[in-house]
Amino acid sequence: MTNHDFLGYFARRYGFEIVGVVLPGGSTLAEPSSRDLAELIEIIEREGIQTIIVEASNVNRISDTLAEQVGIETILLYSDSLSDADGPTPTYIDYMRYNAQAIAAVLGETP
């Protein structure tokens, strides 16, 4: 599950399935309705989701609130920008390493 549909190509390429997105549609400005949130909770419970992957450039409180409500975590991935120089992804290599390690950790693997 992601905060919005930013991992579609990645999921298709590596055989993952995105079972839900917190922000409906393609816009990061959209907000889910109460019904949307209820459906996401059902998906989380049915699929055993443990983490919502949040795009670092589009952090929003909705994903955090949903995760807190159902007792799961959120993790940040970088998708279209680097962090500040003193952040975790100041270079492209750092960006790729950070994302790979974050995904591996969610999957229970040691990178």
What pLDDT does residue 81 have? 84
What pLDDT does residue 90 have? 95
What pLDDT does residue 43 have? 95
Closest CA to 79 of 101, 103, 54: 54
pTM for the model: 0.83
Q: Could you tell me the mean pLDDT of each successive run of 10 residues in the chain, 111 residues long?
A: 85 90 71 89 94 84 91 91 90 93 84 57
What pLDDT does residue 91 have? 95
Closest CA to 62 of 82, 32, 99: 32
Give the separation between CA 87 and CA 5, rounded to whole angstroms: 24
Query: In the chain, where are the structural domains located?
Result: 8-80
CATH tag for 8-80 (out of 3.30.310.160, 3.40.50.2300, 3.40.50.1980, 3.90.110.10)? 3.40.50.1980
